[in-house]
Structure 1
Amino acid sequence: MRNPPDDHAVAVWIWPRALPLAAIFGPAWDGAEVRARFLTLTGQWQARHPAPSAVGRAGGPRPGQWMWHPPARRIYDCHTYEAGDDWLEVAIRMESVDFYPDHCRLGASLTIACRCEIPHPGHHTIVETSWRTGGPAGALDALTAVLRYTDQWIANSQQPAGWRRHAGLD
């Protein structure tokens, strides 16, 4: 992930099958049907995009692994499309909502590398979507929708230059 959270060092790459969903999102996530649907969706996410470009780099994920951030009770994954020194990244995340038990916040974003002369985070978010849901059924329905959004974004172009022009950042 090009732009991880500040406390990214406490996160680990993990296979979706090993994620402690009930510990992250609440006891309603402990059922076999919920886990099976989650694994189906994460498998579809992986199949829709090429392996992350970080594969083979020290500390990088293997294809299919997700980042688990225990303190934030969050999981996320991203796929990076590189074109020379430019890059485009599509990221997806799920996290618990502390003030609403059994609720999840889900989202996806499409970012490109920054080429600005002024210092700032090093990327520009071109498009994003965010959902808040209650219970696993709603969260997995939202994850299905989020996957459709990422499919539509990438179907338009996997080239950073095209998205840069679209956002008026050329």
Structure 2
Amino acid sequence: MSAQFYSFTAQNPQGNDIQMSDFEGKVILVVNTATQCGLTPQFDGLEGLFQKYKEKDFIVLGFPCNQFAGQEPLSNDDMEATCKLNHGVTFPLMKKIDVNGGDAHPLFSYLKKALPGTLVNSIKWNFTKFLIGKDGTPLKRYSPTTKPESIENDILKALNA
């Protein structure tokens, strides 16, 4: 199951392919994001974790999604600029995707199956987070309201594994 994570591809906001295999050997936090959500301040915590641990092979990957109350209405370019300007985001952001339904990005279909949610497997809201180990194994799923700072110990365990 671990190598499967690396078989996925996403696109950055400019439409260029990003291979998940480019992140092999890193601890990865995959997050579905939105710029106009009550949880949007989590960008600050996510960027803080990225800055603190990026030199230790940790990366955050943001996947914007507009499936929850239309809270990511911006174009891909405007979304990326807003994240940089308002939250200092330097971690990679991807092109807007769906995380649920028939058009869900294959990576999120895989992650939902690998780490089922409570009651239902679907993504419940923006800022659902998935921690991926250095070998590509999905380790843990976090609810949208889980603050990035509270994931730090799990990140450290994964980095030291």
TM-score by length of 1: 0.36
- Structure number with the higher strand fraction is 1
TM-score by length of 2: 0.38
Higher relative contact order (CA 8 A, sep 6+): 2
